[in-house]
Structures are given as C-alpha cells and as structure tokens.
Structure 1
C-alpha cells in the first residue's frame, strides 16, 4: 500500500467512525448494554481464535527477545480472555454517563438552562502491547456513546486484529453499527501519525504506553490529547512508619505486577527508619527477588545492591528492580518526587498524621496514598469498572479515566420566544 493509499485508508476509517458516532449517540442505555453483552459472550465463545492469533505475536516476541515483563503483558490465556469479557459485563452494570443533567436552573426571565453530559464523539486510541486495552477501551467508549479508532502496537497486531474482528462481527447482531469500532491494522508509524491530524473526524486522542509514545503524540497531534502518563511512582517510608505496614506496602507495590504503571519504582526511606529496620527490608527484598539501586547511605545495608545513578531516579523499571534513596525528612522526600516524579501515584507510610498531611498537600500527583499501596490507582480497583487510561494532566480528567472522563457537556436552553 502506497503512502497516499494509507492516508486515504485512515481517513476513510475516521470518516466511518464519525458517521457511526451520530447513530450511537441516540441509542438508549439498554441498547448499548445489550450490545456489550453480545460482545462479551462472543469473546468468550471464540477464545481459541484469539489464542491462536496471540501465539503468532508471542512467537514474534520470542524472536525479538522481548523481556519477561513485556511477554507477560502480551500473553493471553483462556482465563485472561474471560476477564476481558467480565470487564465488559462490569461496565454494563455501571451508570450510563451520557444524557445526565448535571445541573439546571431558570433565569429571572424564565429561560430554563440545563448542563447535560454528552459523549466526546470519536476517540482515537493509540496504545502498545497489552491486548486487554483493545477490549477495555472499546467497552468504555461504546457505553459512554463514543465510537473508537484503535491503533495498537505492532507487537500485538495479530491478537488485536482477532479481537476487533470478533467484536465487530458481534455488533452486527446489535443496534450499534460495527463501524463504531475501527482498527488500523498497518504497523507503519507514518500511518499512526495520520491520526494525529484527523481533527475533522476525531474529537480526542488517548495515548497509552511508554513515555516515548505519549510524548510523540503530545508533541505532534493537532487533535486534542488526553495525556496518560508513565508511572515513576514512589513509596516514602517516614521515620515514624509502622514496620509491618511499610514492608507489606513496599512488597505489594513493587512485586504484585511489576510491569504496570502503578507499580512502585523508587523507595524513599528515612535514614532513621532504615537504621532501625534494614534487616526487615533486606529480608523482604531477598524473599521477593527485588534488586536495588541504592544511594551511598543505603548501599552498605543492602547486599548485592548496585550504586544508583542519576538515571535510576527517573527510571520506570517495569521489573523487580527498585531505586532506593534515603532522606532526612518528609520535605526532602517531597522535593525528590517533585524533581523525578511523573505526577502519577505517590505514597507515604507513616503514623504521623502531620507528616502525612504535609505530603498530601505538597505532592503534585493524580493519586496520593497514606499507608496504602500505589497499586490501587486503577479504574477497576476504585470502582470505575474498566479504565481507558490514567491521566496525569490537570484539564478535563485526572487519574484513572472511566466512563465519566469520556463525556463532555452541552448547555441546553429552553424558552418561549425569548430574545435578548
């Protein structure tokens, strides 16, 4: 396919999604819910087709020597596909965010004003390895009345194609047109860039993946971007932290799923706490296979640790590696997060309420935790259902983006011949 043909193909798909958005916007909630149920059932029924396609992606990953964490994000099983389907059913159970009267009032002249939530329209979703995003994003988009154009990474191309084809076929049995879900199958980066400028048809772009992908979209798009962020997340263990709470939070935040964006990447620890409890910390590291890159103060306490470099403080390891930085106060911890954090998720472990309050007020991040793991920064964990991404920006949406983040508002005025 020539460059011109690729551009025309993307434009044609965007145009179809735009037209379908007008049909989707007027459907009742029950009609959208039934469509999601049909899609969920079909995904489960045709899991073998998805697994066969996934094996092609895994074979390519092995040839390209992808690391274990990347392969884990890419790999599908019958159970994971069942989880995709259940995620759609969870979305069905949620309140439809479109068509909700958010506020209303009547002016002194009798003109009635309503602020009503409405779908964004057409969402362009650009993401990397995880095929579950294909299902999660589609479910959230359709439930909220939006159509979606999916552009997944080349490493999951076969899996994503199979999933989208099954979903589109399922939609033919429903009132949602199959054109509401578009998938760009080309792995050419120039094709992806065409999405960036389709402002006539696409209302918002949502990039989800590594820092380079997100930055490319933010810097090059003329379509508005809902920016999701990489997760250089910190756990600060204060001088007055309970040792049992601290250890379990560190272990969970680092090892539960190391390759996700809400996993902890840096441990900030008060020197006085480390002096007293380094044996417990070392045992936890050894028991759970955590490897440390430590500063000069912490290095003698942690066997087999490497000396941390400047790059380690900013690194999103996505593995069982962790950077360890010692500090003398909560304010020093805050300063470190301000310099190296990505405004994603940050936690403090302390029994000192004043220190916790200082942390909460001064740290600039989408999600903050006191005596809890950063792993809760997730749409499902917070009761949103599936999420379309975690926003680290401040306009329109911040934090896990569920259904409500995929709507905007209209002001609807009703009068009786009013003029001004």
Structure 2
C-alpha cells in the first residue's frame, strides 16, 4: 500500500482517541463478556484481561503521546558522499507489515496497533480467544477511525484464528509479513518462533534477578524487593529471584525481615539450601526453578558468595530482561551493570521501571529480550528499519 503522510497518520490516531473516549462504556461492557467467560486460574492472565476506566484512560493517553511524538519515518541516520560524486543517505523506513500476536491484553490492540500505524506499518493483530469480544470492539473503532479519514481499513486487520489456523498462517502466510512480535508467555513465544517464516522479536519473558551486595542499604533493599515483586505480579518486569551475598552484615536479620515482609504480601518464598532453613520458607528440589518466570505471588531467594557468582547465576538463568544490584558502592554497581547480560540493568531501583512509558518512550510495542534489531522497551522510534537513498548522475563501477 502507498505510504501515508505524518498528518494522515496523526489524524487517524486523533480520531481513534476520540472514538475510544466516546465508546468507553461499550468497550468496558464488551470486556465484561470476556472477563465473565474466563474460567482459568492464571492471575496474570486475568489481570491483563480486565479493562476498567483506568485502562481506557491509558489507551487514550498512549494515542495522544503517539500524536505528539516525532515521526520515526524518514529520519536521516547517516550520509556519505563518494569520491565519484554519488550522494548516499541512510534513512529510517517502515518494515511494511507487522504481525502482533498477544495474549489477554485488549489495551495492546490500541497501544501496539497505534505504534505500528504511526511508524507507517500495516498492522495484523492476533489476540487471544480470552479477549476476542474486547478486541473486535476495538478493531471496529480502528476501522471507523480510518474510514472517517478516507483511508482503507486494510491498514489494521484482525486475524480471528484458532491455534491451528494461526500455525498455518505462520508457516504459509497468505500475505507478506515482514516482522512478528509475540507478546505473552514462554509457550506463545516458542510456538511463534517454531513456526514463523519471517523475523521474530521476542518479547514478554522476564525472570528478573536482584542481587543484594555486601555494601547494600538494607532498608532500601527491602523497599525495592517488595515493590518489584508485588506492585504488579502480571508484568514481565516483576521480580522473580533474589540473591544475597553471604558476607552481608546482619545477614540473618535482613533475611528474616525480608521473609516476613514477603509473607505479609502473600508471597510464597522458596529458598536454596541455606535460605530454606528459615521459618516460612519452602525448599525446592530442582535447580530448573531458577529458569522460571512466575507471574505469580512466588519468589526464590538464594545465597551467593560473591558478586561474580551472582553475575554468573543471572547470566545463566535470567531472561535477559532486567537485573538489579543493591549497593552503595558505585564502582561495584558499574562493574555489575557492565557484566550482566540484560536489556536493562539497575542500581538501587525497582525492575518495575522497565517500561516504555517509564523510559520516556510513550507507549511500547514490546520489551525485547533479543539483541537484533532492538533491545529493551520498544517504542515508536524503534519500529522502523532503514533504507539507503543513492543519488548519481551516471556513475558506473
């Protein structure tokens, strides 16, 4: 399809924001059908599924931020003039068609769809069956917004496929797909990677670690751990693992206080050999648990003998998403942050900040744990590829 101007794209987004505001009650009512039909016991899935006034406000805000943001298309990245007079310019360009496969979250139908559209891409949306009624209502509004601006509805398409149909589309797409972004659990990501025939950006897996150094401010550590674990257990930026240096001063007092605070927040505490000796801690019998992302009121706490051991453990088991060191020693923190293989690394702050909005990107399409073509929160400015423009007057080689 012929590309749209920035003015056209912004006009559609503005109309979409107005329609969502006008249809707020209808969106929440549609969502209620999905919520009442959901029979699963997955707390994270349920939390992501539910749409209330706050989530609708978030949808509108994400569109307003996109309108205000700089156009990501056509930005000059590099220019070079050859000795023979050829002028070469590298500029950002849309991918073409982006397929977003996601679970449960109707707000993704607005936020991710808006990011893809503003960056000049056609959007294929494939939501989960648990949020179908909500998603179809929102896509209906996308189509109205496009029609009101005399633009074809082909720019936003919803794939109402079951699992078998989705697999067949991934393996034998009926239209050209340039990029796929799966947002959801590990099973969804593995399914997409197994069957896709075009590039995939992996997003959504957390399994985030926090390391308490010997020079930690323990009160700060407690505050950060509780926030990172309990503020939103359904988020991929929630905390799953805590590693404590065995040489921490007053280690036993800190561990007892941490366990008590976690228990008070209804978090199940699992511990390694040393931690499981404490009251209200359950031992685990399989080290594979270090690989798990919980998305639940569950956490693993373990002891390490050094920062180097903590780094090795994080790089071995972590999801490549976010990692934290709690320490007053800035040199130690810098060494940790440079050595840990995660998209976002922190000193003395909660993993909950790994988010497009919190990182100043506005909304986010995904939080990529891949290294190509982008890593970490993926906002509007990142959903583009590049293209070379070469201007000559008869040069040959």
> TM-score scaled by structure 1?
0.90
**Aligned match of 1:270:** 245
- The counterpart of 2:148, out of the listed 159, 173, 177, is 173
**Aligned match of 2:203:** 228
The C-alpha deviation readout for 1:213-253, integer Å capped at 9, x for no partner, is: 10111122111112224111001111111112211110111
The C-alpha deviation readout for 1:65-122, integer Å capped at 9, x for no partner, is: 3333321111111221121111111111111110111111211111111001100110
Q: 1:280: Cα distance to partner?
A: 3.0
CA contact (8 A) 1:293 1:312 kept: no
Distance (whole Å) between structure 1 residues aligned to residue 276 and residue 166 of structure 2: 47
**Aligned match of 2:324:** 347
**Aligned match of 1:286:** 263
CA contact (8 A) 2:259 2:269 kept: no
* 3-state SS in 2 of match to 1:323: strand
Distance (whole Å) between structure 1 residues aligned to residue 357 and residue 70 of structure 2: 15
**Aligned match of 1:15:** none
**Aligned match of 2:119:** 144
CA contact (8 A) 1:31 1:175 kept: no
CA contact (8 A) 1:196 1:223 kept: no
Q: 1:369: Cα distance to partner?
A: 0.9
**Aligned match of 1:70:** 45
Distance (whole Å) between structure 2 residues aligned to residue 294 and residue 73 of structure 1: 29
Distance (whole Å) between structure 2 residues aligned to residue 105 and residue 65 of structure 1: 57
Does residue 1:213 correspond to 2:188, yes or no? yes
Does residue 1:241 correspond to 2:216, yes or no? yes
Deviant stretches of 4+, over 6 Å: none
Does residue 1:307 correspond to 2:283, yes or no? yes
Distance (whole Å) between structure 1 residues aligned to residue 86 and residue 372 of structure 2: 30
Does residue 1:374 correspond to 2:345, yes or no? no
Number of residues paired by the alignment?
A: 394
Q: 1:257: Cα distance to partner?
A: 0.6
- The counterpart of 1:48, out of the listed 25, 38, 51, is 25
Q: 1:348: Cα distance to partner?
A: 0.8
Please report the RMSD computed on the Cα atoms of aligned residues, expressed in angstroms: 1.6
CA contact (8 A) 1:106 1:112 kept: yes
Q: 1:31: Cα distance to partner?
A: 1.9
Q: 1:276: Cα distance to partner?
A: 4.4
Within-5 A mapping of 1:84-99: 84-99=59-74
* 3-state SS in 1 of match to 2:70: coil
Distance (whole Å) between structure 2 residues aligned to residue 255 and residue 177 of structure 1: 44
Residues 76 and 58 of structure 1, relative CA distance in 2, 3 Å threshold: same
CA contact (8 A) 2:263 2:269 kept: no
**Aligned match of 2:101:** 126
**Aligned match of 1:322:** 299
CA contact (8 A) 2:44 2:235 kept: no
Q: 1:200: Cα distance to partner?
A: 5.4
CA contact (8 A) 2:43 2:234 kept: no
Q: 1:405: Cα distance to partner?
A: 2.0
- The counterpart of 2:374, out of the listed 397, 404, 419, is 397
